[in-house]
Structure 1
């Protein structure tokens, strides 16, 4: 198949990834190219194309990207952005458009989905059952395809350091970094923080004043560096306080063997069971402290097995590949 993938334009698609959506985009194009498909990535300048992927840097925004897509002679377009324009104008494409919904319904995108859903060229994917329920009033039917990770990129660590926790994500209010700091401090755990700072004022107010020799911020790390940090911890913390669409950090931590304690935000309840993690109500730091101690006693090999069984990258790639084929076979 001749596949075009439209990336989100907020950040370049390159390591260290700005977020889960950029990582998902890179994994998708790399996986499709490895299966012999012709793949073109339309992305912000400064992006890196995996081996076998043609990179098309876009400087004129989504309108310019859509012009390139209409003229590209593709079999299928995968819209991996959060912008409303590719959804609203999917009917003008010369081929089917698959849109993965990585975010809860916000006004512009849900309005575009209400209009675009009537085009037989537009097909929606949601990344969790939670997201499917949120989007159903606007998209109608959608296909659930869980995000996946490459287990080889997240090596299993049979033992983490006792009373050491790890937290990873973009540092912004919706990710709840301050709750990880508060819980680790109350529980007497050391804490390693990693991820890009998306809200400098939030970092200065809620994170920076609490950094010391026990609570450390490591910056934005490569996948290899992050896996090493995760594998070295006795427990991973997940503190999102918004409607988390998926929570890719959970399978990543589990793959390293690190059990997870966190808030039951959005799709998190789909990703964990009591054998590999503990979830509590959002913003309940006291309950999170109890959950940390309980999770740290769980079997690390069970965490690895759960991640491999349910969130393998090849399962995700196969899901999209099969969806593309079904769509094209119906034409």
Structure 2
């Protein structure tokens, strides 16, 4: 198949540091290429891929100090995609909803994976206005706030099996917190859990501009007042393998409807069990008692941490290999692609001359 992947421009594909959506786009794109498909990636110009790259910005927008508003750059990318739309069997968008008004003429050959939270009230009127656009969720829980739309499936994220190697015996006994510093991600809860159980906590996370006040007024003072807590900032993929692989457990103390939670399966890939609060997608991602343990309250988290630490790391890795590989994710998306109405019509049209020729031969 000739497939276009349309990535966000905030980070390169794959991202140098933080960037869950761009990371997933990379794993999907490279696996599609590996399986023999003709793939074109619309992304920032510093992206790294075996697909054909169409650069839609010079570098990732977050790294470009001259960029203050990403919308014009995204709009220009969408126009570039629209001009080349007829060259592809399938166009797969990962940029939420900005493109919806411009793809109606070929929407039946598109799918849009919704990577973000969908419970914001302002989204409701927009999705009601575009009920026909094919969309994919990254967890079943993510769908709950949505009006009726054209769901084509739920596809859980997947990782390259080799990117985060299994660590059977971590050489350090710390707890890990990975991701982003924001109220809903629960870094404050992670610090309290580590303090209550008397364990070290390492925090590897970025601080977005909108969360700087929260960092300065809440988390930074907590880090400063707890000698067992170390803040490491953002880390890259190589550092992540060591950071997660040598952790005794990963804390995922969220307080919001998490659409997926990529850090959970990254931890599982390393064999590191997860203590997760039962919010959003966590019950779909964590095999409770196998790859981690789900809790509802802080007292329960503190009580259950010992059980998390005793989980078999080989079984944690096994849960990842069964459910969350890039190959499985790619097969799920290919099935969705093949069942899109526009793709089905193309396939039927391609077979029609052959069938007509056979019928004429038989009649003759």
Q: Match of 1:3, SS?
A: strand
Please say if residues 92 and 111 of structure 2, whose CA atoms lie closer than 8 Å, have aligned partners that are also in contact. yes
Please say if residues 295 and 301 of structure 2, whose CA atoms lie closer than 8 Å, have aligned partners that are also in contact. yes
Residue 76 of structure 2 corresponds to which residue in structure 1? 64
d(CA) in 1 for partners of 2:242 and 2:39? 31
d(CA) in 1 for partners of 2:125 and 2:41? 26
Please say if residues 58 and 64 of structure 1, whose CA atoms lie closer than 8 Å, have aligned partners that are also in contact. no
d(CA) in 2 for partners of 1:17 and 1:76? 29
Residue 290 of structure 2 corresponds to which residue in structure 1? 275
Residue 218 of structure 2 corresponds to which residue in structure 1? 206
Deviations 1:100-119 (A, max 9, x none): 0112323454433322223x
Residue 311 of structure 2 corresponds to which residue in structure 1? 298
Deviations 1:171-200 (A, max 9, x none): 222211111111111111111111221222
d(CA) in 2 for partners of 1:140 and 1:40? 25
Residue 163 of structure 2 corresponds to which residue in structure 1? 153
Please say if residues 172 and 246 of structure 2, whose CA atoms lie closer than 8 Å, have aligned partners that are also in contact. no
Please say if residues 4 and 41 of structure 2, whose CA atoms lie closer than 8 Å, have aligned partners that are also in contact. yes
Please say if residues 79 and 98 of structure 1, whose CA atoms lie closer than 8 Å, have aligned partners that are also in contact. yes
d(CA) in 2 for partners of 1:131 and 1:142? 14
Residue 180 of structure 1 corresponds to which residue in structure 2? 190
Residue 128 of structure 1 corresponds to which residue in structure 2? 139
1:10 Cα deviation after fit = 3.3
Please say if residues 169 and 196 of structure 1, whose CA atoms lie closer than 8 Å, have aligned partners that are also in contact. yes
Larger CA Rg, structure 1 vs 2: 2
Cα 1:276–1:226 shift into 2, 3 Å: same
Please say if residues 197 and 203 of structure 1, whose CA atoms lie closer than 8 Å, have aligned partners that are also in contact. yes
Q: Match of 2:41, SS?
A: strand
1:163 Cα deviation after fit = 4.3
Q: Which of 70, 78, 88 is the equivalent residue of 2:101? A: 88
1:227 Cα deviation after fit = 1.4
1:213 Cα deviation after fit = 5.1
The count of corresponding residues between Structure 1 and Structure 2 is 323
Gap runs ≥5 in structure 1: none
d(CA) in 2 for partners of 1:128 and 1:85? 21
1:29 aligns with 2:29: yes
d(CA) in 2 for partners of 1:266 and 1:16? 27
Deviations 1:228-255 (A, max 9, x none): 1111011110022110011111111112
Deviations 1:63-118 (A, max 9, x none): 22222112112222111012x32123321337611010112323454433322223
Structural mapping, 1:158-177, within 5 Å: 158-161=168-171, 163-177=173-187
d(CA) in 1 for partners of 2:172 and 2:237? 23
Gap runs ≥5 in structure 2: 59-71, 347-364
Q: Match of 2:144, SS?
A: helix
Cα 1:76–1:109 shift into 2, 3 Å: farther
Deviations 1:287-317 (A, max 9, x none): 2112222100111111010111011110001
Please say if residues 31 and 317 of structure 1, whose CA atoms lie closer than 8 Å, have aligned partners that are also in contact. yes
Q: Match of 1:202, SS?
A: helix
Residue 317 of structure 1 corresponds to which residue in structure 2? 330
Q: Match of 1:68, SS?
A: helix
Q: Match of 2:145, SS?
A: helix
Please say if residues 33 and 53 of structure 1, whose CA atoms lie closer than 8 Å, have aligned partners that are also in contact. no
d(CA) in 2 for partners of 1:318 and 1:151? 15
d(CA) in 1 for partners of 2:177 and 2:117? 23
d(CA) in 2 for partners of 1:161 and 1:237? 18
Q: Match of 1:138, SS?
A: coil
d(CA) in 2 for partners of 1:183 and 1:94? 47
d(CA) in 2 for partners of 1:126 and 1:233? 30
Normalised TM-score (structure 1): 0.90
